[in-house]
Structure 1
Amino acid sequence: MTPNTTKGVLLAMTTAFLWGFLAIALKVASTMVDSYTIVWFRFTIAFLALFSFFLFRKREMLRILIKPPFILVVAALALGWNYLGFMQGVSYTSPGNAQVIIQLGPVLLALAGIIIYKEKLSRRQIIGFVVASVGFLLFYRQQLITMLGKEADFNTGVLWIVSGAVAWSIYAVFQKKLVQTHHAQAMNMFIYGLPALLFMPAANFEHLATLTPGWWILLVFLAANTLIAYGTLGAAFKYIEANKISIIVSMNPIITFITMAILSEQHVSWIPPENISPQGYLAAILVLTGAILVVKRKRKKD
């Protein structure tokens, strides 16, 4: 690999690891803080961090806040909905469920490339779409069986996550286009700032004032996760193709499953164990395999 490719892979891997732990942290936070407040806090802290940096180091980057490109506004709105959809999905279901279903995002991103940019659909991608579709259906069916008595919550969570996956694919399409002509972190500053402003009326400031230091540390971790994960993702787009990034990022559910398995073995009380059957894990593997086949393009020599 070239130095730039290696750099892009490492940046994308950083995003994957952070997202792998994110769902677990969100589930824990949801037991104390409502979804809208968590989403607002994550965006606000991430925005303030970048705004402060540019204010003192690169003030010219602040111009993007005054006259942002229209598609950057759309990307910011899409990512805002993605955060809320995933947060609500984790709250209604579980970290593992959310991580599997959100893989619809990379699949839709590849589909957008085919439709919008007229990319040729390969045999491998067709197989991937079929495998991923079968995996999604099997996983959904199996989890409905497993979630006896909680089907309504599960279905609500699935709808939230699917909407979040659609929103993420919209964000990623525009981010890939914009990063070629705009500074990645300057764009992220705007992308964080607009949702922070829009979610502010729904944030529960009175409840935040009653939180103990431990809960504040968790919220700060969630905000730092936002800042670092999307910072490395935006930078990765500069060095490697979107399909390679999607493959790497699609690995984050494995990190979630392994971490949840370790926590279950430790019998921790602060997060419920995953309720996924062996058949459910098999379906999850089909989803991940299909997603990888979809986003992986043929090499030029092929």
Structure 2
Amino acid sequence: MTNSTYPIGTPGTKWNNNDKADWLTRQNIKRSYQNEVVTLINELKDELNVEQYGELNYVAGKYPLFVLKTADFNTNKPTVLITGGVHGYETSGVHGALRFAKTAAQKYSLHFNIVIAPCISPWGYETINRWNPEAIDPNRSFYEGSPAQESAAIMAYVKSLELDLIAHIDLHETTDSDNSEFRPALAAREGTVNTNWNIPDGFYLVADSTKPEAAFQKAIIDSVAKVTHIAPSDENNQLIGVPQEQFGVINYAARELGLCMGFTNAPYVTTTEVYPDSPTASDEECILAQVAVITSALDYIINL
């Protein structure tokens, strides 16, 4: 699909407010944030501290935002941030964060303060969407004065902690719908011509080009490879149109692009990209891959 066939807007012209309103009317609720996410968060209240750090307030609905924190928070320990659901449609990011919280957070709290924001974009989760109701991509909006409520809320909360982070792990997916829906929609919104890239068949990481920490990324890839397959590069040695830095790893200018992984000064950062549409990958496998990322990243830091 190219922007010339996208059903909203005028080819070659950026969307106006009417186009964005038209887009919003075509979105619909497909699953429940309350039932599938908040319920799981509340089940962990006996083990972890649950804090509401904000609320999204849209015409499309109000959504409370939650973090989970390890109980024995101590400023003498390094602090780790785990984020999921920045793109709400990327399901294993949300449930991988929650699974880690349930199964491993307490173990690692011996070494770290851990802050988990499992679902930064709950409306996106419910509508299986990359954007928020205002047709803004939260994962291009992590900068001062952000236009995205989702991005602004978590940035303000992390700033309020007044702690330096040692690591930030942002959990994402790359899906076939990136080519079938989200990239065409982006081109239509921006009035540009869409050119799809090859969807990598497997897991990969996106590192921050300003602090790539190649050994850190490799340790994660080696661990995830025991759970799910790592994406091979294409014929141009690229993944999603970006040169591969090492097997399963590409670099992005995170802060320049307004990416979630770029908004802190943590020295160890990575963005995961699980591939849920692989015929060989189950939903459970995708969740376990996300958990493997977190545990291997923390193990690496412990063993420095």
- Per the normalisation by structure 1, the TM-score is 0.29
More helix, by proportion:
1
More strand, by proportion:
2
- Per the normalisation by structure 2, the TM-score is 0.29
- Which protein has greater RCO, CA pairs closer than 8 Å, 6+ apart? 1
